[in-house]
Amino acid sequence: MLLTMKPYGTTQHGEQVDLFRFENAHGIIVEIINYGGTITSIQTPDRNGTFEDIVLGFDTLQGYESNDNPYFGATCGRFANRIGNGHFELDGQFYQLATNNGANALHGGLRGFDKRVWEVQADAEKLLLKRTSPHEEENYPGTLETEVTFQLNDLNELSIQYKATTDQPTIINLTNHSYFNLAGKGSIRDHLIQIHADRYTVVDDDAIPTGELRKVADTEMDLRQPTAIGTRIDDVQGLGYDHNYCLHSTDGSLAIAAEVVEPVSGRTLTCLTTEPGVQFYSGNFLNGFKGKYAHTYHKQNGFCLETQHFPDSPNQPTFPSTRLNPGESYTQTCIYRFSHA
């Protein structure tokens, strides 16, 4: 395994950012910057050995810092996904967060983990990113010590391992927000997706869960068998898929959440997780973003598989808990496995 580093730029706050490049024995390349713990490039081969970059992003650090960045490749926290009305209660204490998604809080706030420069520890095998989120950062309680470890192996697996501890009760929900396009460009509507979930979290028109876990059977949400993303996407609530699927595995063991195949190239992505949910997002709000390689990203030009606990869990007592107490460790693993048919 080869891991190299080079300077990537300086943030608007004057912080140095570096780019870390993994390359395995099969020529697969993964590039990550310590700004936002962001995956900027994943290059994988098709069935003929032709390599393409299969994640959306920007050419420069300024792109990732821009207000237009829709979390391309980012590590999202402290609480990924949405919290209804931007507030929650914990042990009788009311906490009001920034409302940066209409009336709701999204992906950790105005300056969440995706907009922070992380401390780096790297060796030939792995990239460890660390940061201390102080008490009341973005109005979350407790000082949170967080580590995210990236590794690429010769089985063509990119693993992302998360760990966090706190000095007082808090909530936490971390995820990676890479947008994939297994063709390298164009629409994802012909990609075949399979998600191993019988139920999903029903949401209101603001994408906040109602508390109902509805069966996918006989609905446009049923992706239990390989299905072209575009088959029923126009029947989905809102502008397309942006829903949390409740996975079969709920005991914290590593299991396959989803598989996606791009039929022309044969490129295949398998997503494994220890989390109870995965947010399948079909890039509904990509409305002319100017991305890398002079690409312009339009609606449904990328998809996300965000492994996570369920949205708005702090306000939904029947959902798996996102509470973290002192003396406990938050841990989760996500693996993106690359292959071709």
The CATH number of residue 279's host domain is 2.70.98.10
Integer Cα distance of 110 and 173 in angstroms: 16
Residue 273 — pLDDT band, cuts 50, 70, 90? Answer: very high
pLDDT over 70, % of the chain:
100
Average pLDDT over residues 102-110: 97
Is pTM beyond 0.85 here? yes
Domain range holding 313?
A: 2-340
- Residue 1 predicted with pLDDT over 90: no
Residue 308 — pLDDT band, cuts 50, 70, 90? Answer: very high
- Residue 250 predicted with pLDDT over 90: no
Q: In the prediction, which pLDDT does 103 show?
A: 97
- Residue 249 predicted with pLDDT over 90: no
- Which residues are identified as catalytic? 177, 306
Q: Given the structure tokens 């009305």, which residue do they identify?
A: 85
Domain total in the chain: 1
Q: In the prediction, which pLDDT does 290 show?
A: 95
- Residue 301 predicted with pLDDT over 90: yes
Can you say how many angstroms the Cα of residue 137 is from the centroid of all Cα atoms in its chain? 21
Number of helices and strands (H, E) in the chain?
1, 29
Integer Cα distance of 6 and 32 in angstroms: 11
In this predicted model, what pLDDT tens digit does every residue of 61-88 receive, in sequence order? 999 999 999 999 999 999 999 999 999 9
In this predicted model, what pLDDT tens digit does every residue of 34-66 receive, in sequence order? 999 999 999 999 999 999 999 999 999 999 999
